[in-house]
Structure 1
Amino acid sequence: MRLIRTLLLVVASLCLNLPATAESNRLDDILARGALRVGTTGDYKPFSYRPATSVEFVGLDVELAGQLAKALGVKLELVPTSWPTLMKDLGEDRFDIAMSGVSISLDRQKKALYSIPYLRDGKTPITRCENKERFQTLAQIDHPGVRLIVNPGGTNERFARANIKQASIAVHPDNVTIFDQIIAGRADLMITDAIETRLQAKLKPQLCALHPEAPFDFSEKAYLLPRDLVWKTFVDQWLHQTIASGAFSPLLEKWLAHPWP
């Protein structure tokens, strides 16, 4: 009996020394704050776009950000970011999640987490339609005299520099006007996500998307998150339910068909 009493005293002492609350996590922080901060670039149709004459963002991921905030029961705060500063802004806690057509990459995965994927994609060329037979393959593209254009700091630039050694690579800072450079003849082509080539070819009849159904590589879109498993688990479950319920596909089609400026 003395041994049992001693053990009970030890257990009671240990319980008294336990922390009163569990370690905080971002999900609890968001709920306590009453606001979800979403980083978005505003330059990538159909995911996130902000016209030069407006302060409002629109797009597939912008609408889904609103639905995520509603599921949390908090207000939505959209935080402008850019592809070159995306990881820096996440690391500096400027937002809780990035929703802007973000491609999964192992480089980003070293510093952050991703949600489950919501879209399969890959890199493919877009060029003026009269040149569509010239740039079907990487071997055709990678020749001296060919002018490839890229937007800075994202997976498009990384793909180009990893695969193009002889053609020239020009960096254009504005992802909104980059396709106009091809139309104007100041560049021959761009290699970007297949979904973007499909949309831009629809918006700009002078341009043709080359084999978007069979891109050069495999990639997926997901939401970029800080290293917090409780928060990631909530986002994953919300996204899983959105996709499995059939609500995601009509939204994607809606924004692909949107009358973009």
Structure 2
Amino acid sequence: MRKKPWLLAGLVLTGVAAWMIWNQQTDAKAHDIFEDHKLVVGTTGDYKPFTYWNEERNRYQGFDIDVIQAFAKAANLDVTFVKTTWPTLSEDTKSGKFDIAVGGITKKVEREVVGDFTSSYFSFQKAPLVKKEDVKRLNSLAAINDPSVKIGVNPGGTNEAFVKKHFPKADVTVFENNLDIPKAVQSGQVDVMVTDDIEALHYATELDLAVPKLTEAWEPAEMAYLMKPGQKQLGDVFRVWIESAEGQEQVQKLKKKWNIVSTRETVGAKGAGAHE
């Protein structure tokens, strides 16, 4: 049976109309950061000194929180923070739960696949956080990879991946809240917290703990902010700001405020980073 021309035309027009309506609805739902002057920021709130939830002040604080707020002020953007977690970070990025995620995020291929990283802003390496009396005992991969050694680690991120790769023989406990692990080291519940050296050095000072002088350099890495897909303009504007004199000045002030230091340069030069 031959279909009538007017019927075919009607079906085509109906299909086009439906696509236009869907496309308009999709565009209406799309969030244009610089037109709306709104920036939605995801953060785990459990990674000092980069991001943590201050119960008393009922808000997020930390180096990365301050940096993204300084950027937003310069770009005339209002910031809204939303909660994410290390196990759900990639999926939350991919789904567009936020425009950009901040808070001690390590650059890795798996995350770049679901989003886009900004320029790196820190270089660091993994490091152990221990009690002061254990700095000479737990100062190498081999020494820590022992059934008698208890390790505390947070789930879903590069710290857990590092522990699984290098310490298969150790007694590993996964803590859902990363903020609980340094206190577990302090109390003796675990012997070692494996984390980024910047966080380890922060807690060494805050809780009177130590970062051992390592016998070998541990894996180096870089930190950056993770944007949801399709945010090239945001990445470009952020890069211009952070590389500007104003941005560099802000970052240096905030590094001093939050006492941001890393062992990586020492390790790279001498093969060991000594901090107690």
- TM-score per shorter chain, which class? 0.7 to 0.9
The aligned residue for residue 209 of structure 1 is 211
Aligned-pair Cα RMSD in Å: 2.2
Structure 1 residue 217: deviation in Å? 1.2
1:102 aligns with 2:97: no
**1:136–1:210 Cα contact (<8 Å) kept:** yes
Higher helix share: 2
Secondary structure of 1:209's counterpart equals coil
Structure 1 residue 244: deviation in Å? 6.9
Secondary structure of 1:116's counterpart equals coil
Unaligned runs of 5+ in 1: 1-23
Structure 1 residue 94: deviation in Å? 1.3
1:103-118 alignment to 2 at 5 Å?
103-118=106-121
Residues 1:176 and 1:245: Cα distance change in structure 2 (over 3 Å)? closer
Residue number among 189, 213, 217 corresponding to 2:192 in the alignment: 189
1:177 aligns with 2:180: yes
Amino acid at match of 1:153: G
Residue number among 34, 38, 49 corresponding to 1:35 in the alignment: 38
1:72-87 alignment to 2 at 5 Å?
72-87=75-90
1:141 aligns with 2:144: yes
The aligned residue for residue 61 of structure 1 is 64
The aligned residue for residue 253 of structure 1 is 256
Determine the C-alpha separation between the residues in 2 that align with 1:75 and 1:63: 13
Structure 1 residue 177: deviation in Å? 1.5
Unaligned runs of 5+ in 2: 1-26, 261-276
**2:123–2:223 Cα contact (<8 Å) kept:** yes
Question: How many residues are matched?
Answer: 231
Secondary structure of 1:186's counterpart equals coil
Secondary structure of 1:247's counterpart equals helix
**2:70–2:250 Cα contact (<8 Å) kept:** no
Secondary structure of 2:128's counterpart equals strand
Residue number among 36, 44, 50 corresponding to 2:47 in the alignment: 44
Structure 1 residues 34-90: Cα deviation after superposition (integer angstroms, max 9, x where no partner): 211111111111111112334211111111111221222121111121212111211
Residue number among 160, 169, 172 corresponding to 2:163 in the alignment: 160
**1:147–1:188 Cα contact (<8 Å) kept:** yes
The aligned residue for residue 224 of structure 1 is 226
Residues 1:256 and 1:51: Cα distance change in structure 2 (over 3 Å)? same
Residues 1:87 and 1:182: Cα distance change in structure 2 (over 3 Å)? same
**1:194–1:215 Cα contact (<8 Å) kept:** no
1:127 aligns with 2:126: no
Residues 1:173 and 1:185: Cα distance change in structure 2 (over 3 Å)? same
Determine the C-alpha separation between the residues in 2 that align with 1:160 and 1:69: 36
**1:121–1:195 Cα contact (<8 Å) kept:** yes
Determine the C-alpha separation between the residues in 2 that align with 1:249 and 1:32: 30
* TM-score (normalizing by structure 1): 0.82
Secondary structure of 1:77's counterpart equals strand
1:198 aligns with 2:205: no
Residues 1:235 and 1:28: Cα distance change in structure 2 (over 3 Å)? farther
* TM-score (normalizing by structure 2): 0.78
Which moves more between the two structures, 137-146 or 223-232? 223-232
Amino acid at match of 1:199: H
Amino acid at match of 1:187: V
Amino acid at match of 2:120: P
The aligned residue for residue 150 of structure 1 is 153
Structure 1 residues 209-241: Cα deviation after superposition (integer angstroms, max 9, x where no partner): 1238x7511111111112323332222222222
**2:118–2:235 Cα contact (<8 Å) kept:** yes
**2:46–2:178 Cα contact (<8 Å) kept:** yes
